[in-house]
Chain A
Protein backbone atom coordinates (compact mmCIF):
# COMPACT_ATOMS: atom_id res chain seq x y z
CA UNK A 1 0.00 0.00 0.00
CA UNK A 2 1.30 3.42 -0.91
CA UNK A 3 -1.06 5.38 1.32
CA UNK A 4 -2.27 3.95 4.62
CA UNK A 5 -4.72 6.08 6.57
CA UNK A 6 -5.77 4.83 9.98
CA UNK A 7 -8.29 6.04 12.54
CA UNK A 8 -8.50 9.68 11.42
CA UNK A 9 -11.06 11.64 13.47
CA UNK A 10 -11.74 15.33 13.64
CA UNK A 11 -14.49 17.24 15.40
CA UNK A 12 -15.56 20.85 15.18
CA UNK A 13 -17.20 21.96 18.42
CA UNK A 14 -19.40 19.03 19.35
CA UNK A 15 -19.76 17.71 15.82
CA UNK A 16 -17.73 14.69 14.86
CA UNK A 17 -17.08 15.43 11.19
CA UNK A 18 -14.80 12.48 10.46
CA UNK A 19 -15.12 9.41 12.64
CA UNK A 20 -12.23 6.92 12.75
CA UNK A 21 -11.70 6.78 8.97
CA UNK A 22 -9.41 4.18 7.48
CA UNK A 23 -8.37 4.23 3.84
CA UNK A 24 -5.79 2.35 1.82
CA UNK A 25 -4.64 3.38 -1.62
CA UNK A 26 -2.27 1.26 -3.70
CA UNK A 27 0.25 2.74 -6.09
CA UNK A 28 -1.44 4.02 -9.27
CA UNK A 29 -4.89 3.13 -7.99
CA UNK A 30 -7.85 5.50 -8.44
CA UNK A 31 -10.06 5.51 -5.37
CA UNK A 32 -13.39 7.33 -5.38
CA UNK A 33 -14.76 8.82 -2.20
CA UNK A 34 -18.51 9.24 -2.32
CA UNK A 35 -21.28 9.93 0.14
CA UNK A 36 -24.14 12.29 0.84
CA UNK A 37 -23.57 15.99 1.49
CA UNK A 38 -21.98 16.55 4.88
CA UNK A 39 -20.57 13.03 5.03
CA UNK A 40 -17.11 14.46 5.73
CA UNK A 41 -15.43 13.65 2.43
CA UNK A 42 -13.77 17.01 1.88
CA UNK A 43 -12.95 17.29 5.59
CA UNK A 44 -11.21 13.93 5.35
CA UNK A 45 -9.19 15.11 2.34
CA UNK A 46 -8.33 18.28 4.25
CA UNK A 47 -7.00 16.19 7.14
CA UNK A 48 -4.80 14.09 4.88
CA UNK A 49 -3.53 17.06 2.86
CA UNK A 50 -2.52 19.03 5.95
CA UNK A 51 -5.14 21.76 5.80
CA UNK A 52 -6.74 20.50 9.02
CA UNK A 53 -5.11 18.96 12.06
CA UNK A 54 -7.24 15.90 13.00
CA UNK A 55 -7.76 14.97 16.66
CA UNK A 56 -6.44 11.45 16.14
CA UNK A 57 -5.13 9.26 13.39
CA UNK A 58 -2.23 8.80 11.04
CA UNK A 59 -1.72 8.90 7.29
CA UNK A 60 1.44 7.18 6.13
CA UNK A 61 2.62 7.82 2.58
CA UNK A 62 5.58 5.61 1.78
CA UNK A 63 6.60 5.64 5.46
CA UNK A 64 6.18 9.43 5.78
CA UNK A 65 3.56 10.78 8.17
CA UNK A 66 1.38 13.28 6.34
CA UNK A 67 -0.86 14.46 9.17
CA UNK A 68 0.09 18.01 10.13
CA UNK A 69 2.53 18.41 7.26
CA UNK A 70 1.93 21.77 5.51
CA UNK A 71 1.16 21.76 1.76
CA UNK A 72 4.62 22.90 0.64
CA UNK A 73 6.23 19.94 2.42
CA UNK A 74 3.63 17.51 1.08
CA UNK A 75 4.46 18.68 -2.44
CA UNK A 76 8.05 17.64 -1.86
CA UNK A 77 6.79 14.15 -1.04
CA UNK A 78 4.91 14.13 -4.34
CA UNK A 79 1.42 14.91 -3.07
CA UNK A 80 -0.75 17.46 -4.84
CA UNK A 81 -4.40 18.34 -4.40
CA UNK A 82 -7.08 20.32 -6.13
CA UNK A 83 -9.89 22.26 -4.53
CA UNK A 84 -13.64 22.19 -4.57
CA UNK A 85 -13.76 25.97 -4.67
CA UNK A 86 -10.91 27.17 -6.79
CA UNK A 87 -8.77 29.73 -5.02
CA UNK A 88 -9.23 33.23 -6.35
CA UNK A 89 -6.10 34.78 -7.75
CA UNK A 90 -6.64 38.05 -9.56
CA UNK A 91 -3.29 39.05 -10.92
CA UNK A 92 -2.07 35.76 -12.32
CA UNK A 93 -2.61 34.26 -15.74
CA UNK A 94 -3.59 30.65 -16.31
CA UNK A 95 -0.08 29.81 -17.42
CA UNK A 96 1.33 31.51 -14.30
CA UNK A 97 -0.74 29.28 -12.07
CA UNK A 98 0.30 26.12 -13.90
CA UNK A 99 3.93 27.29 -13.71
CA UNK A 100 3.60 27.67 -9.96
CA UNK A 101 2.70 23.98 -9.83
CA UNK A 102 5.68 23.06 -12.00
CA UNK A 103 8.03 25.14 -9.86
CA UNK A 104 7.08 23.23 -6.77
CA UNK A 105 7.92 19.79 -8.06
CA UNK A 106 9.08 17.43 -5.36
CA UNK A 107 11.94 15.83 -7.28
CA UNK A 108 14.10 18.94 -7.59
CA UNK A 109 17.22 19.35 -5.49
CA UNK A 110 17.63 22.46 -3.37
CA UNK A 111 20.27 23.96 -5.70
CA UNK A 112 18.17 23.28 -8.80
CA UNK A 113 15.25 24.90 -7.01
CA UNK A 114 17.23 28.04 -6.18
CA UNK A 115 18.74 28.26 -9.67
CA UNK A 116 15.25 27.84 -11.15
CA UNK A 117 13.96 30.72 -9.10
CA UNK A 118 15.93 33.25 -11.10
CA UNK A 119 15.42 31.85 -14.57
CA UNK A 120 12.71 32.79 -16.94
CA UNK A 121 11.26 29.66 -18.44
CA UNK A 122 10.13 29.84 -22.00
CA UNK A 123 10.78 26.19 -22.78
CA UNK A 124 8.93 25.11 -19.65
CA UNK A 125 6.04 27.35 -20.64
CA UNK A 126 5.74 25.73 -24.07
CA UNK A 127 5.93 22.27 -22.53
CA UNK A 128 3.21 23.05 -20.00
CA UNK A 129 0.95 24.52 -22.66
CA UNK A 130 1.34 21.50 -24.93
CA UNK A 131 1.18 18.71 -22.37
CA UNK A 132 -1.33 20.07 -19.87
CA UNK A 133 -3.32 23.02 -21.18
CA UNK A 134 -3.86 21.72 -24.73
CA UNK A 135 -5.60 18.46 -23.61
CA UNK A 136 -7.77 20.53 -21.24
CA UNK A 137 -8.64 22.88 -24.14
CA UNK A 138 -7.08 25.77 -22.27
CA UNK A 139 -4.09 26.40 -24.53
CA UNK A 140 -5.69 29.35 -26.31
CA UNK A 141 -6.43 31.21 -23.09
CA UNK A 142 -3.07 30.46 -21.44
CA UNK A 143 -2.15 34.13 -21.14
CA UNK A 144 -5.52 35.33 -19.88
CA UNK A 145 -6.26 36.03 -16.20
CA UNK A 146 -7.88 33.05 -14.51
CA UNK A 147 -10.84 35.18 -13.42
CA UNK A 148 -12.05 35.35 -17.01
CA UNK A 149 -12.83 31.61 -17.03
CA UNK A 150 -16.00 29.81 -16.03
CA UNK A 151 -16.05 27.78 -12.82
CA UNK A 152 -15.65 24.51 -14.70
CA UNK A 153 -12.66 25.74 -16.69
CA UNK A 154 -11.04 27.11 -13.56
CA UNK A 155 -11.21 23.62 -12.13
CA UNK A 156 -9.35 22.48 -15.21
CA UNK A 157 -6.62 25.03 -14.46
CA UNK A 158 -6.48 23.84 -10.87
CA UNK A 159 -6.02 20.25 -12.08
CA UNK A 160 -3.33 21.31 -14.56
CA UNK A 161 -1.56 23.14 -11.72
CA UNK A 162 -1.63 20.03 -9.55
CA UNK A 163 -0.46 17.81 -12.43
CA UNK A 164 2.40 20.16 -13.28
CA UNK A 165 3.99 19.27 -9.96
CA UNK A 166 4.25 15.66 -11.26
CA UNK A 167 2.50 14.19 -8.22
CA UNK A 168 2.65 10.57 -7.12
CA UNK A 169 -0.54 11.00 -5.12
CA UNK A 170 -3.26 13.27 -6.43
CA UNK A 171 -6.11 14.37 -4.17
CA UNK A 172 -9.04 15.65 -6.24
CA UNK A 173 -11.94 17.40 -4.55
CA UNK A 174 -14.97 17.31 -6.85
CA UNK A 175 -12.99 17.65 -10.08
CA UNK A 176 -16.03 17.76 -12.36
CA UNK A 177 -18.44 19.84 -10.24
CA UNK A 178 -19.73 22.78 -12.23
CA UNK A 179 -19.00 21.15 -15.57
CA UNK A 180 -21.48 20.00 -18.18
CA UNK A 181 -22.05 16.24 -18.44
CA UNK A 182 -19.90 16.16 -21.55
CA UNK A 183 -17.02 18.12 -19.99
CA UNK A 184 -17.32 15.93 -16.91
CA UNK A 185 -16.84 12.72 -18.88
CA UNK A 186 -13.93 14.26 -20.78
CA UNK A 187 -12.35 15.18 -17.44
CA UNK A 188 -12.92 11.65 -16.17
CA UNK A 189 -11.14 10.29 -19.23
CA UNK A 190 -8.29 12.72 -18.64
CA UNK A 191 -7.89 11.63 -15.02
CA UNK A 192 -7.51 7.98 -16.12
CA UNK A 193 -5.13 9.03 -18.86
CA UNK A 194 -3.03 10.99 -16.38
CA UNK A 195 -2.90 7.98 -14.09
CA UNK A 196 -1.87 5.70 -16.97
CA UNK A 197 0.80 8.15 -18.14
CA UNK A 198 2.32 9.17 -14.80
CA UNK A 199 1.35 6.16 -12.70
CA UNK A 200 0.13 8.31 -9.83
CA UNK A 201 -2.38 7.20 -7.23
CA UNK A 202 -5.58 9.24 -7.10
CA UNK A 203 -8.20 9.87 -4.45
CA UNK A 204 -11.19 11.69 -5.86
CA UNK A 205 -14.18 13.06 -4.01
CA UNK A 206 -17.08 13.22 -6.44
CA UNK A 207 -20.86 13.25 -6.55
CA UNK A 208 -21.55 12.34 -10.15
CA UNK A 209 -21.93 8.57 -10.12
CA UNK A 210 -21.41 8.08 -13.85
CA UNK A 211 -18.04 9.83 -13.60
CA UNK A 212 -17.07 7.90 -10.48
CA UNK A 213 -18.08 4.55 -11.98
CA UNK A 214 -16.18 5.07 -15.18
CA UNK A 215 -13.04 6.48 -13.53
CA UNK A 216 -12.41 4.69 -10.27
CA UNK A 217 -10.87 1.29 -9.62
CA UNK A 218 -12.38 1.22 -6.17
CA UNK A 219 -15.01 3.23 -4.35
CA UNK A 220 -15.23 4.06 -0.67
CA UNK A 221 -18.58 5.26 0.62
CA UNK A 222 -18.79 7.62 3.58
CA UNK A 223 -21.80 8.58 5.67
CA UNK A 224 -21.84 10.71 8.82
CA UNK A 225 -18.07 10.87 8.91
CA UNK A 226 -17.46 7.12 8.78
CA UNK A 227 -16.70 4.57 6.11
CA UNK A 228 -19.69 2.35 5.44
CA UNK A 229 -18.50 0.42 2.41
CA UNK A 230 -15.54 -0.12 0.14
CA UNK A 231 -15.43 -2.10 -3.06
CA UNK A 232 -15.45 -2.05 -6.84
CA UNK A 233 -17.96 0.18 -8.66
CA UNK A 234 -20.12 -2.87 -9.42
CA UNK A 235 -20.14 -3.98 -5.78
CA UNK A 236 -21.04 -0.50 -4.62
CA UNK A 237 -24.01 -0.42 -6.99
CA UNK A 238 -25.25 -3.71 -5.55
CA UNK A 239 -24.78 -3.08 -1.83
CA UNK A 240 -28.18 -2.56 -0.16
CA UNK A 241 -26.83 -0.28 2.61
CA UNK A 242 -25.16 2.04 0.09
CA UNK A 243 -28.30 2.12 -2.03
CA UNK A 244 -30.30 3.11 1.03
CA UNK A 245 -27.95 5.79 2.40
CA UNK A 246 -26.57 7.31 -0.73
CA UNK A 247 -28.42 6.35 -3.82
CA UNK A 248 -31.72 7.14 -2.12
CA UNK A 249 -33.66 3.86 -2.04
CA UNK A 250 -35.71 2.38 0.76
Chain B
Protein backbone atom coordinates (compact mmCIF):
# COMPACT_ATOMS: atom_id res chain seq x y z
CA UNK B 1 0.00 0.00 0.00
CA UNK B 2 2.86 2.30 0.86
CA UNK B 3 4.30 1.35 -2.51
CA UNK B 4 1.19 2.55 -4.36
CA UNK B 5 1.08 5.67 -2.21
CA UNK B 6 4.61 6.53 -3.32
CA UNK B 7 3.82 5.62 -6.91
CA UNK B 8 0.84 7.95 -7.14
CA UNK B 9 2.71 10.82 -5.50
CA UNK B 10 5.59 10.22 -7.89
CA UNK B 11 3.29 10.28 -10.90
CA UNK B 12 1.80 13.57 -9.71
CA UNK B 13 5.14 15.39 -9.42
CA UNK B 14 6.47 13.56 -12.48
CA UNK B 15 3.62 14.96 -14.59
CA UNK B 16 4.72 18.46 -13.63
CA UNK B 17 8.28 17.66 -14.64
CA UNK B 18 6.90 16.37 -17.93
CA UNK B 19 4.96 19.60 -18.47
CA UNK B 20 8.10 21.66 -18.11
CA UNK B 21 10.35 19.27 -20.04
CA UNK B 22 7.93 19.14 -22.99
CA UNK B 23 8.40 22.89 -23.35
CA UNK B 24 12.16 22.54 -23.51
CA UNK B 25 11.90 19.81 -26.15
CA UNK B 26 9.42 21.88 -28.17
CA UNK B 27 11.77 24.86 -28.24
CA UNK B 28 14.76 22.68 -29.03
CA UNK B 29 12.99 21.00 -31.93
CA UNK B 30 11.85 24.27 -33.42
CA UNK B 31 14.82 26.56 -32.89
CA UNK B 32 17.71 24.24 -31.98
CA UNK B 33 18.23 26.08 -28.71
CA UNK B 34 18.41 24.41 -25.32
CA UNK B 35 16.40 26.83 -23.24
CA UNK B 36 17.82 27.37 -19.76
CA UNK B 37 15.15 29.97 -19.05
CA UNK B 38 12.43 27.31 -18.74
CA UNK B 39 12.84 27.26 -14.96
CA UNK B 40 12.46 31.03 -14.94
CA UNK B 41 9.15 30.72 -16.80
CA UNK B 42 7.95 28.22 -14.19
CA UNK B 43 8.98 30.53 -11.33
CA UNK B 44 7.51 33.67 -12.92
CA UNK B 45 4.31 31.75 -13.70
CA UNK B 46 3.91 30.86 -10.02
CA UNK B 47 4.62 34.44 -8.88
CA UNK B 48 2.17 35.89 -11.40
CA UNK B 49 -0.55 33.49 -10.25
CA UNK B 50 0.23 34.50 -6.66
CA UNK B 51 0.08 38.21 -7.49
CA UNK B 52 -3.21 37.85 -9.33
CA UNK B 53 -4.90 35.94 -6.51
CA UNK B 54 -3.61 38.63 -4.11
CA UNK B 55 -5.36 41.19 -6.30
CA UNK B 56 -8.57 39.27 -5.69
CA UNK B 57 -8.98 37.27 -8.87
CA UNK B 58 -10.54 33.82 -8.48
CA UNK B 59 -7.96 31.01 -8.55
CA UNK B 60 -8.96 29.62 -11.95
CA UNK B 61 -8.87 33.04 -13.60
CA UNK B 62 -5.50 33.75 -12.01
CA UNK B 63 -4.03 30.47 -13.29
CA UNK B 64 -5.32 31.00 -16.83
CA UNK B 65 -4.25 34.64 -16.88
CA UNK B 66 -0.80 33.71 -15.67
CA UNK B 67 -0.49 31.19 -18.51
CA UNK B 68 -1.38 33.94 -20.96
CA UNK B 69 1.13 36.34 -19.42
CA UNK B 70 3.76 33.64 -19.72
CA UNK B 71 2.83 32.93 -23.34
CA UNK B 72 3.33 36.61 -24.07
CA UNK B 73 6.63 36.51 -22.19
CA UNK B 74 7.77 33.50 -24.22
CA UNK B 75 6.88 35.20 -27.51
CA UNK B 76 8.61 38.39 -26.33
CA UNK B 77 11.75 36.39 -25.48
CA UNK B 78 11.79 34.89 -28.94
CA UNK B 79 11.21 38.20 -30.71
CA UNK B 80 13.48 40.40 -28.61
CA UNK B 81 16.32 38.05 -27.68
CA UNK B 82 16.34 35.07 -30.02
CA UNK B 83 15.55 36.73 -33.32
CA UNK B 84 18.32 39.35 -33.13
CA UNK B 85 20.69 36.45 -32.40
CA UNK B 86 19.59 34.47 -35.44
CA UNK B 87 23.09 34.25 -36.87
CA UNK B 88 24.88 33.89 -33.53
CA UNK B 89 26.35 30.50 -32.50
CA UNK B 90 23.89 28.28 -30.66
CA UNK B 91 26.07 28.35 -27.53
CA UNK B 92 25.76 32.15 -27.41
CA UNK B 93 21.98 31.87 -27.64
CA UNK B 94 21.94 29.30 -24.83
CA UNK B 95 24.01 31.67 -22.68
CA UNK B 96 21.47 34.38 -23.43
CA UNK B 97 18.70 32.12 -22.11
CA UNK B 98 20.80 31.55 -18.99
CA UNK B 99 21.01 35.33 -18.69
CA UNK B 100 17.22 35.55 -18.89
CA UNK B 101 17.00 33.07 -16.00
CA UNK B 102 19.29 35.18 -13.81
CA UNK B 103 17.50 38.37 -14.81
CA UNK B 104 14.06 36.94 -14.06
CA UNK B 105 15.26 35.70 -10.69
CA UNK B 106 16.60 39.16 -9.81
CA UNK B 107 13.31 40.80 -10.80
CA UNK B 108 11.29 38.37 -8.69
CA UNK B 109 13.72 38.89 -5.79
CA UNK B 110 13.27 42.65 -6.03
CA UNK B 111 9.47 42.44 -6.09
CA UNK B 112 8.65 39.54 -3.79
CA UNK B 113 11.78 39.18 -1.65
CA UNK B 114 13.86 36.11 -0.83
CA UNK B 115 11.49 34.43 1.63
CA UNK B 116 9.24 31.47 1.05
CA UNK B 117 5.67 32.64 0.57
CA UNK B 118 2.61 30.62 1.48
CA UNK B 119 0.92 29.96 -1.84
CA UNK B 120 -2.81 30.78 -1.98
CA UNK B 121 -5.07 27.76 -1.93
CA UNK B 122 -6.07 27.03 -5.48
CA UNK B 123 -7.53 23.61 -4.80
CA UNK B 124 -9.71 22.68 -1.82
CA UNK B 125 -8.01 21.43 1.30
CA UNK B 126 -8.24 17.90 2.54
CA UNK B 127 -7.43 14.59 1.01
CA UNK B 128 -9.18 11.74 -0.69
CA UNK B 129 -9.03 8.11 0.21
CA UNK B 130 -8.68 5.81 -2.76
CA UNK B 131 -8.93 2.34 -1.25
CA UNK B 132 -6.43 3.07 1.49
CA UNK B 133 -4.25 5.46 -0.46
CA UNK B 134 -4.45 8.98 0.89
CA UNK B 135 -3.71 11.86 -1.40
CA UNK B 136 -4.27 15.55 -0.77
CA UNK B 137 -6.43 17.34 -3.32
CA UNK B 138 -3.38 19.41 -4.19
CA UNK B 139 -1.51 16.34 -5.37
CA UNK B 140 -4.49 14.85 -7.18
CA UNK B 141 -5.27 18.11 -8.95
CA UNK B 142 -1.64 18.82 -9.86
CA UNK B 143 -1.12 15.31 -11.19
CA UNK B 144 -4.38 15.04 -13.11
CA UNK B 145 -4.15 18.55 -14.52
CA UNK B 146 -0.59 18.32 -15.75
CA UNK B 147 -0.95 14.77 -17.10
CA UNK B 148 -4.10 15.76 -18.97
CA UNK B 149 -2.47 18.88 -20.34
CA UNK B 150 0.58 16.92 -21.46
CA UNK B 151 -1.62 14.41 -23.25
CA UNK B 152 -3.75 17.17 -24.78
CA UNK B 153 -0.65 18.95 -25.96
CA UNK B 154 0.80 15.81 -27.54
CA UNK B 155 -2.53 15.22 -29.31
CA UNK B 156 -2.60 18.83 -30.47
CA UNK B 157 0.91 18.49 -31.84
CA UNK B 158 0.10 15.26 -33.64
CA UNK B 159 -3.39 15.83 -34.98
CA UNK B 160 -4.13 19.49 -35.67
CA UNK B 161 -2.97 21.52 -38.61
CA UNK B 162 -1.09 24.01 -36.45
CA UNK B 163 0.64 21.04 -34.85
CA UNK B 164 1.46 19.78 -38.32
CA UNK B 165 3.03 23.12 -39.23
CA UNK B 166 4.98 22.98 -35.97
CA UNK B 167 6.21 19.51 -36.81
CA UNK B 168 7.18 20.53 -40.32
CA UNK B 169 9.06 23.63 -39.13
CA UNK B 170 10.82 21.51 -36.50
CA UNK B 171 11.66 18.77 -38.99
CA UNK B 172 13.42 20.94 -41.57
CA UNK B 173 13.03 24.69 -41.28
CA UNK B 174 14.47 25.44 -44.71
CA UNK B 175 12.11 23.02 -46.39
CA UNK B 176 9.21 24.40 -44.38
CA UNK B 177 10.10 27.92 -45.48
CA UNK B 178 10.28 26.82 -49.11
CA UNK B 179 6.83 25.24 -49.13
CA UNK B 180 5.29 28.35 -47.63
CA UNK B 181 5.27 27.96 -43.87
CA UNK B 182 5.93 31.16 -41.96
CA UNK B 183 8.69 29.54 -39.93
CA UNK B 184 9.58 32.46 -37.69
CA UNK B 185 5.93 32.71 -36.61
CA UNK B 186 5.97 28.99 -35.83
CA UNK B 187 9.05 29.46 -33.67
CA UNK B 188 7.31 32.30 -31.82
CA UNK B 189 4.28 30.08 -31.25
CA UNK B 190 6.53 27.30 -29.91
CA UNK B 191 8.14 29.68 -27.41
CA UNK B 192 4.75 31.00 -26.36
CA UNK B 193 3.33 27.53 -25.79
CA UNK B 194 6.44 26.34 -23.94
CA UNK B 195 6.42 29.30 -21.60
CA UNK B 196 2.70 28.89 -20.91
CA UNK B 197 3.15 25.19 -20.10
CA UNK B 198 6.10 25.98 -17.83
CA UNK B 199 4.11 28.74 -16.13
CA UNK B 200 1.34 26.30 -15.29
CA UNK B 201 3.93 23.76 -14.13
CA UNK B 202 5.43 26.35 -11.82
CA UNK B 203 2.03 27.26 -10.39
CA UNK B 204 1.21 23.61 -9.73
CA UNK B 205 4.58 23.04 -8.12
CA UNK B 206 4.03 26.04 -5.88
CA UNK B 207 0.71 24.59 -4.70
CA UNK B 208 2.67 21.52 -3.54
CA UNK B 209 5.90 22.99 -2.19
CA UNK B 210 5.18 26.66 -1.57
CA UNK B 211 6.40 29.68 -3.49
CA UNK B 212 10.03 30.79 -3.49
CA UNK B 213 12.84 31.74 -5.84
CA UNK B 214 14.02 28.14 -5.55
CA UNK B 215 11.26 27.15 -7.99
CA UNK B 216 13.53 27.94 -10.91
CA UNK B 217 15.53 24.82 -10.00
CA UNK B 218 12.75 22.84 -11.70
CA UNK B 219 14.32 24.01 -14.95
CA UNK B 220 17.40 22.01 -14.01
CA UNK B 221 15.47 18.91 -13.01
CA UNK B 222 13.91 19.05 -16.47
CA UNK B 223 17.30 18.42 -18.05
CA UNK B 224 17.71 14.87 -16.72
CA UNK B 225 14.14 14.34 -17.93
CA UNK B 226 14.86 15.35 -21.52
CA UNK B 227 18.18 13.54 -21.58
CA UNK B 228 16.37 10.43 -20.39
CA UNK B 229 13.55 10.85 -22.90
CA UNK B 230 15.66 12.02 -25.81
CA UNK B 231 16.07 15.67 -26.63
CA UNK B 232 13.81 15.57 -29.67
CA UNK B 233 10.96 13.41 -28.42
CA UNK B 234 7.91 15.07 -26.86
CA UNK B 235 6.44 11.70 -25.94
CA UNK B 236 9.81 10.75 -24.47
CA UNK B 237 9.80 13.85 -22.28
CA UNK B 238 6.36 12.88 -21.00
CA UNK B 239 7.32 9.30 -20.15
CA UNK B 240 10.70 10.28 -18.70
CA UNK B 241 9.13 13.04 -16.58
CA UNK B 242 6.77 10.59 -14.92
CA UNK B 243 9.57 8.02 -14.57
CA UNK B 244 11.77 10.51 -12.80
CA UNK B 245 8.98 11.67 -10.50
CA UNK B 246 8.29 8.08 -9.48
CA UNK B 247 11.99 7.41 -9.00
CA UNK B 248 12.30 10.41 -6.73
CA UNK B 249 9.32 9.34 -4.68
CA UNK B 250 10.73 5.84 -4.24
CA UNK B 251 14.14 7.18 -3.32
CA UNK B 252 12.59 9.43 -0.72
CA UNK B 253 10.22 6.83 0.66
CA UNK B 254 12.14 3.55 0.39
CA UNK B 255 15.79 3.96 -0.54
CA UNK B 256 16.68 6.76 1.87
CA UNK B 257 15.21 5.00 4.98
CA UNK B 258 16.89 1.74 3.94
CA UNK B 259 20.29 3.36 3.52
CA UNK B 260 19.89 5.31 6.75
CA UNK B 261 18.98 2.16 8.69
CA UNK B 262 22.05 0.48 7.28
CA UNK B 263 24.33 3.42 8.11
CA UNK B 264 22.96 3.82 11.62
CA UNK B 265 23.57 0.17 12.33
CA UNK B 266 27.18 0.11 11.22
CA UNK B 267 28.49 3.71 11.33
CA UNK B 268 28.04 7.00 13.15
CA UNK B 269 26.40 8.63 10.11
CA UNK B 270 22.87 9.54 11.02
CA UNK B 271 21.41 11.01 7.84
CA UNK B 272 22.13 10.89 4.12
CA UNK B 273 20.28 14.12 3.37
CA UNK B 274 17.93 14.68 0.48
CA UNK B 275 19.00 11.75 -1.62
CA UNK B 276 16.02 12.18 -3.96
CA UNK B 277 17.56 15.40 -5.21
CA UNK B 278 20.71 13.56 -6.23
CA UNK B 279 19.00 10.77 -8.12
CA UNK B 280 18.00 12.75 -11.24
CA UNK B 281 21.54 13.94 -11.80
CA UNK B 282 23.07 10.54 -11.10
CA UNK B 283 20.67 9.22 -13.73
CA UNK B 284 21.68 12.07 -16.05
CA UNK B 285 25.35 11.10 -15.83
CA UNK B 286 24.58 7.42 -16.24
CA UNK B 287 22.32 8.05 -19.22
CA UNK B 288 24.87 10.25 -20.96
CA UNK B 289 27.47 7.52 -20.52
CA UNK B 290 25.32 4.63 -21.65
CA UNK B 291 22.82 5.99 -24.14
CA UNK B 292 23.40 9.69 -24.85
CA UNK B 293 20.53 9.92 -27.33
CA UNK B 294 18.01 9.01 -24.61
CA UNK B 295 15.38 6.29 -24.52
CA UNK B 296 13.31 7.71 -27.35
CA UNK B 297 15.94 9.83 -29.06
CA UNK B 298 17.27 9.17 -32.52
CA UNK B 299 20.63 9.02 -34.15
CA UNK B 300 21.94 12.46 -34.97
CA UNK B 301 20.42 13.87 -31.84
CA UNK B 302 22.87 16.21 -30.21
CA UNK B 303 24.27 15.67 -26.78
CA UNK B 304 23.84 18.41 -24.26
A positions within 8 Å CB-CB of B: 51, 70-72, 74-75, 80, 83, 87-92, 96-97, 99-101, 103-104, 116-121, 161, 165
Contact = CB atoms under 8 A, between A and B. Distances in A.
Contacts, number: 68
Contacts of B168: 89, 92, 96-97, 100
Given A103-B164, A120-B159, A75 B180 contact: yes
B171 A74 contact: no
28 contacts: A70-B182, A71-B178, A71-B180, A80-B180, A87-B172, A87-B175, A88-B175, A89-B168, A89-B172, A91-B167, A91-B171, A92-B168, A92-B171, A96-B164, A96-B167, A96-B168, A100-B168, A100-B179, A100-B181, A104-B180, A104-B181, A117-B162, A118-B160, A118-B161, A119-B160, A119-B161, A120-B159, A161-B179
Interface of B: 156, 159-162, 164-165, 167-168, 170-172, 174-175, 177-182
Contact of A118 (B156, B167, B172, B182): B156
A100 B178 CA distance: 12
A87 B176 CA distance: 8
Given A96-B164, A100-B164, A103-B161, A90 B172 contact: yes
B161 A89 contact: no
Contacts of B171: 89-92
Contacts of B170: 91
Contacts of B172: 87-90
A72 B181 contact: yes
A110 to B, nearest CB: 13
B159 A72 contact: no
A80 B178 CA distance: 10
Contacts of B179: 71, 87, 100-101, 104, 161
Given A92-B168, A99-B164, A117-B162, 5 more contacts: A70-B177, A71-B177, A71-B180, A88-B172, A101-B179
A92 B166 CA distance: 11
Nearest to A90: B171
Contact of B160 (A87, A90, A101, A117): A117
B180 A72 contact: yes
Give the interface centre of B162, B164, B170 by most chain A CB atoms within 10 Å.
B164
A119 B156 CA distance: 9
Contacts of B167: 91-92, 96
A117 B182 CA distance: 14
A74 B159 CA distance: 26
B121 to A, nearest CB: 32
A198 B161 CA distance: 24
Nearest to A121: B161
A92 to B, nearest CB: 6
Nearest to A80: B180
Nearest to A49: B178
Contact of B162 (A70, A75, A87, A118): A118
A101 B161 CA distance: 10
Contacts of A104: 179-181
B180 to A, nearest CB: 4
B168 to A, nearest CB: 6
A194 B199 CA distance: 49
Contacts of A100: 164-165, 168, 179, 181
A165 B179 CA distance: 11
Nearest to A83: B178
B173 to A, nearest CB: 11
Rank and list the top 5 A-B pairs by shortest CB-CB distance, nearest first: A87-B175, A117-B162, A71-B180, A120-B159, A75-B180
Contacts of B165: 100, 103, 117
Nearest to A106: B180
B296 to A, nearest CB: 13
Contacts of B159: 120
